[in-house]
Amino acid sequence: MMDSLERQAPLTCANCGSVNVSMRHVRSAFWQDDRLVVVEDIPALVCGACAEQFYEDATVVGLDLLRGGGFPAEEARAELYVPVFSFGALAAVKRGS
């Protein structure tokens, strides 16, 4: 059965006005207190022109439920190593040039 977002045609991007919008599965990062977590396989409409992502209401509710559950580490499918940079250090280097 087709999702309600896929039945609507043609779709127009609310950000840039392009009609190059398609259903895809994306990933997004969320902060949970001091932890950064990534959720994969999120169904979204994605604009091919500006890359803006739009979610159906049911998807937003599902993401809210995940957040409300606190993203328990034992339920994670995988872990990523994420390097952390300081913008202040970059700005100090630029000022010194």
Q: What is the pLDDT of residues 36-74, one digit of tens each?
A: 999 999 999 999 999 999 999 999 999 999 999 999 999
| Residue 23 CB partners (closer than 8 Å, separation 6+) | 3, 5, 6, 43, 44, 45, 46
CATH node for 4-96: 3.10.20.860
The runs of H, that is alpha helices, within the chain are: 4-7, 57-68, 87-96
pLDDT tens digits for range 79-97:
999 898 888 877 776 776 5
How many residues in the chain?
Answer: 97
- Whether the CA torsion 77, 83, 84, 87 is positive or negative: it is negative
pTM of the complete model beyond 0.85: no
